Amino acid sequence: MHTYSSKLLEQAVNELARLPGIGRKTALRMALHLLKRPQAEVEALGNAIITMRNHVIYCRECKNISDQELCGICSDHKRDQSLVCVVEDVRDVMAIENTGQYNGLYHVLGGIISPMEGIGPQDLTMDALFSRVERGTVKEVILALPTTIEGDTTNFFLYRKLTAYPVTLSAIARGISIGDELEHTDKITLGRSILNRTPYELLITRK
């Protein structure tokens, strides 16, 4: 539809428009913004993404993005090596770490099973998880995948595989957010919060 006055501009727009959630209009706005910035800044951006892509390391244990062969969490001996929390990607690790409430390890799947997007178990880091469990130090695997059809499918797949090992399998609690009112909570969440109710004693004895 649009004709660009410069091939160089057009190529930059084409590449930027491949980024997730970026349409051609936004890509053009980005390209024009970059043209106004100092050369050094644009080179810093271009080189940062290339360097990241070509030199990033995934932790040999948990498969999280890392700068070392064994990431900072896996190599931290103060952490509980018997607990492994299974998450979709590094953002979930960051979110849980931010709570300051979890002292175990992680396993980053790198996605979830999604037939729609052509992602099967073989595209994820599941085998690495099974080998970790097989080694015997892991006592409990906590599933923290999204509550979507894809998340449930992945949970069930992991459940089927992990029952072969002597590990406890649990899932993070789904319920009403702290401070939320019952009347404004959706039916499914409210229903689940009753089914999966927590013994009151647990709440008052917890420090």
Structure tokens at 24: 């051609």
Q: Which stretch binds its own copies (CB under 8 A): 1-9, 75-83, 128-136, 161-169?
A: 1-9
CA angle 124, 83, 173 (to 5 degrees): 80
Using the rule CB under 8 A, is 73 a contact of its own copies? yes
41 binds its own copies (CB under 8 A): yes
**Candidates 38-46, 151-159, 171-179, 197-205; binding stretch for its own copies (CB under 8 A):** 38-46
Which one, 37 or 60, has the nearer CB to its own copies? 37
Q: What angle do CA 77, 78, 83 make, to 5 degrees?
A: 85
Of 14 and 196, which CB lies nearer to its own copies in the complex structure? 14
Minimum CB distance to its own copies, residue 170 (Å) = 24
Q: Closest CB to its own copies among 111 and 175?
A: 111
Q: Is 106 helix (H, G, I), strand (E, B) or coil?
A: strand
Residues 79-138 that bind its own copies (CB under 8 A): 89-91, 93-94, 97-98
CB nearer to its own copies: pick between 150 and 162: 150
Angle at 91 between CA 60 and CA 104, to 5 degrees: 55
Q: How far is the CB of 49 from its own copies (least distance, A)?
A: 5
DSSP line for 94-130? HHHHHHT---EEEEE-SS--BGGGTB-GGGTTHHHHH
Q: What is the distance of C-alpha 81 from the center of its chain? A: 20
